[in-house]
A and B are shown apart, each in its own frame.
Chain A
C-alpha cells in the first residue's frame, strides 16, 4: 500500500512520517511516532479520550486522517510539561485528585488547555462546556472542573 509522507510539528518538534492511506492520527502518533499520551477509548469520536490540539484547537485524533495534518502544529499531553516542570494544569490535577484511573486525563488536559488559551478567565459553565466532549467514566467531574478553574486562576496570576 502506498504511503504518504506527512510532516508536522509535534509539541514544537519537527516530525516527518510515512503514513498508510486511511491511517488515523491517533494510531500514527502512538504506533509510528511513539507518543503514547493520547489514548484510544472508542475509535468513533464519542469519548474524547484521544483529544489532541491541532493548531491550538481540540480535535479527536481517532477521527482525524493523518494525511490531513501536514504542516500543522500538534500538541499532546506528552509535551505539556517543560522538562521536569509540570504545566499548572498538570500540577493542579495532581494536587486536587482530579484523576482516578487516569485514562481520560490526557484528553481532559488538552481540552482544558484549549479552553484556557481562548478564555483565561472561564466561569464554571465555560469549563463544563469545554470538557463536555470528554467522558470520565470514573465520574470524577467535579474535581476536574475545580482543578481547571484553579489552574486558570494560577495562570492568570503568573501572567500579571
Chain B
C-alpha cells in the first residue's frame, strides 16, 4: 500500500528492523478531541469575570520613549488596570538565560527605547477586549524617533544606530570574545590559491512567519493557596514557566502551568511573552486575565524565522572535487536575541553541508536590526544555509560543466570522513539518496557514480584533521572603530610546530572560539592538528607545548572587549600583558533570584528559576 521503499541496508546497525508503523496512518492519541471539537486549547477554558489584556505597541522601528500619558485611559469604561514597565518586577530577560546563554537584553514592557515596530510598551487590562483596545488607543506615548537600521550588513557599519543597548556593537557576543561565530578547518586561503576554479555566490532568505492558525496566547487566573493557574498555547512549557518566574521574581512553585494542546506552533510559540503578562495581570487584578495576539499582531509582532544572508566561496579542482569552502553568514536576529544566537551555533555545526571538504572557514554573525525579533521555526539555523549550499552546488556544477547529481555524489560524506566540526561521519547516506533521487527523476548518471557507495572510499586520508589556520579578527567591538572585513580573515598563518606535539581538539574548541587552551603564545596564528581520527572524541585536554607560557591572552582581552580589541596583522612576539581598560563596561551579573526559589531542583543543568521536587 505504501509507495515508500525502505532501504534496509542503511542504518542497519542502528535500527530495530521490526518497524511496522512507518508509511501507515495511525490513530493519534489526541485525535478524538480534535474531531469532536473538545481538545482543550488555551482559549477553551472559561472563567467568570475574565479580563482582557492588550498592549500599546510602538508604531516606530526605533524610538526613545520620552513620556507615557495614561490619564485619559485610566478613567475609560471597563479599564481595570494599566500595567506600566515599572510594574514588571524584573523587567529584563533573554530567553536562553534559562540555560545560561547570552545576556538579558529584552524587556517585557519597554519603557525606555523601542527597537522594533510593534514592541509592547504598556498593557491595559479591561473587562472586554474592545474596552482594552479603546483604552490602548487613548494612551499617549511621546516618542523621540531615532534612525533605524533594517539590513544586517548596514547594522555592522561603524556608524550604524545601536539597536540593542545590551549589545552595542549590533552583534551577539560569542564566547565573550568575537562578534561572530568562527569555524576554521584547514587553510581555505591556501586551497583557493591551488584551486582550478573559484565559484562565489550570495543567497538570502526573508523572514518567514509561522502563522499558526491559533494565535499565541495565555489565560492566567488566581488559584487557591496563592498560586496562579496559567493555560497557555506555548510549545515550551518549562521555558514559559521559568521565564515567568524570572520576570515576575516569583517562585515557579506558585505557578500552575497547563499546556500541551497547541493549535499549530511551528516554532512561533516558544518565546514566552504571553504567560508573564497574563500572570502579572492576574496578580495585579486578582482576576482571570487573557492575553492573546489577534491575527494582525501574530503577523507583525509574533517572532518569525529570521532572515539569513549567506555568501559562499568555493575552490574546486577541474574534476569537480571541492577543496575549499568559505562561508560568511548573517542572521537577522531582529531587535533582541531570543534564539538566533543558538541558531548560529547549530548552523555552524552543520557546515559545510553533507560534503567532505578538506578546507572550510566560516564567520557567522548574529546581527541586531530594528526588525521583529526572530525565533525558532522548523529547522531554524539549518534551513537557510542548506538552501544556500544546495543552490551553490548547482552553481558549481554549472561552472565546471558537471552533472549536479554527480557533483554531489563525488563530494558527499562517506563513512569515516572527518567533518569540519571534528566529528567523524558515520551512517552516511547522501550518495544513496542522490542515486535513488536520480533514478526516480529519470536523471541519468554515469555508471561510475551509480556504483559509488557511502561505505567505500571514506576514512583514511579523509579522516584527518588538517593543519588549521586560526585568527582572532573580529574581536567584540573592533568593528565599531573601523569597518573590517566580515569574511573569514586572510591573515592567519601556519606555525611550523610539528603536528605530533599537538593534542586533539574538542569539537567546541575546534569551532574556533574557545581555542585559548591550545593557542597560547601567538594568538593570531596557531595550528590545530591531530594525529589520529580515533582521538577526536576525546574531551579537550589543554595543549602542553614545551616552552610556551600558560594560555591567557584570549580570555583576558575578552574582559575588556571594546578597548582591548586588537586588529593587528602580525603575530605578537610574546603573550601580551592583559589589556585592562578603565572605561571598559563592567560585565553585568546574570540575574539570580534574591532568595533561591523554594525546594530548588539541584540536579546539574537545572534552571535556577524552576523550583519543585522530582517525582519519584
Contact = CB atoms under 8 A, between A and B. Distances in A.
B68 interface: no
Contacts of A38: 37
Interface stretch (B261-269, B468-476, B553-561, B571-579): B261-269
A103 B26 contact: no
Interface of A: 30-31, 34, 36-44, 46-47, 49, 76-78, 80-81, 86, 89-91, 93-97, 99, 101-106, 109, 135-138, 143
Contact of A80 (B26, B34, B36, B44): B36
Contact of B213 (A86, A90, A137, A143): A137
Interface in B165-195: none
Nearest to A37: B37
A37 B34 CA distance: 9
Question: Sorted from nearest, which 6 A-B pairs have the closest CB atoms?
Answer: A37-B37, A102-B34, A103-B263, A77-B37, A42-B295, A97-B25
A132 B278 CA distance: 35
B35 A109 contact: yes
B143 interface: no
B264 A106 contact: no
Which of A42, A81, A96, A103 gathers most chain B CB within 10 Å?
A: A103
Nearest to A78: B37
Contacts of A47: 213, 295
Contact of B39 (A31, A89, A93, A102): A102
Contacts of B25: 95-97, 143
B451 interface: no
8 contacts: A40-B215, A94-B32, A94-B35, A96-B25, A99-B31, A101-B214, A104-B213, A109-B35
Interface in B1-42: 25-28, 30-39, 41
A106 B213 contact: no
Contacts of B295: 41-44, 46-47
A94 B35 CA distance: 7
Contacts of A135: 213
Interface residues of B, number: 31
Contacts of A31: 46
Given A89-B35, A101-B212, A138-B264, 9 more contacts: A31-B46, A34-B46, A37-B38, A40-B43, A43-B295, A94-B32, A99-B35, A101-B262, A102-B35
Given A34-B46, A101-B264, A95 B36 contact: no
A49 to B, nearest CB: 5
A137 B35 contact: no
A105 to B, nearest CB: 5
Nearest to B34: A102
Nearest to A110: B37
Contacts of B210: 137
B217 to A, nearest CB: 10
Nearest to B26: A97
Given A36-B44, A40-B43, A101 B37 contact: no
A94 B29 CA distance: 10
B294 interface: yes
A124 B577 CA distance: 76
B27 A94 contact: yes
A73 B66 CA distance: 55
A137 B210 CA distance: 9
Nearest to B266: A137
A137 B264 contact: yes
B35 A41 contact: no
Interface in B253-292: 262-266
A39 B41 contact: yes
B211 A99 contact: no
A136 B39 CA distance: 16
A30 to B, nearest CB: 8
Given A44-B295, A97-B26, A97-B28, A103 B35 contact: no
A68 to B, nearest CB: 19
Given A101-B213, A103-B264, A143-B25, A43 B294 contact: yes
Contacts of B263: 39, 101-103
A94 B264 contact: no
Contacts of A93: 31, 34-35
Contacts of A41: 213-215, 295
Nearest to B296: A44
Which of A44, A101, A109 gathers most chain B CB within 10 Å?
A: A101
A145 B265 CA distance: 23
Interface in B34-67: 34-39, 41, 43-44, 46
A103 B41 contact: yes
Contacts of B214: 39-41, 101, 103
A99 B37 CA distance: 12
A94 to B, nearest CB: 5
Given A34-B46, A99-B34, A49 B27 contact: no
Which of B31, B215, B265, B266 gathers most chain A CB within 10 Å?
A: B31
B288 to A, nearest CB: 13
Contacts of A49: 213
Contacts of A34: 46
A137 B36 contact: no
B134 to A, nearest CB: 13
Contacts of B28: 94, 97, 99
Nearest to A135: B213
A135 B46 CA distance: 26
B10 to A, nearest CB: 26
Nearest to A97: B25
B35 A86 contact: yes
Nearest to B265: A101
B212 A137 contact: yes
Interface in B448-470: none
Contacts of A143: 25
A3 B181 CA distance: 61
Which of B26, B35, B214, B264 gathers most chain A CB within 10 Å?
A: B35
Contacts of B265: 101
Contacts of B38: 36-37, 78
A130 B212 CA distance: 22
Given A47-B213, A96-B25, A97-B28, A77 B264 contact: no
A106 B37 contact: yes
B211 A78 contact: no
B273 to A, nearest CB: 19
Nearest to A146: B25
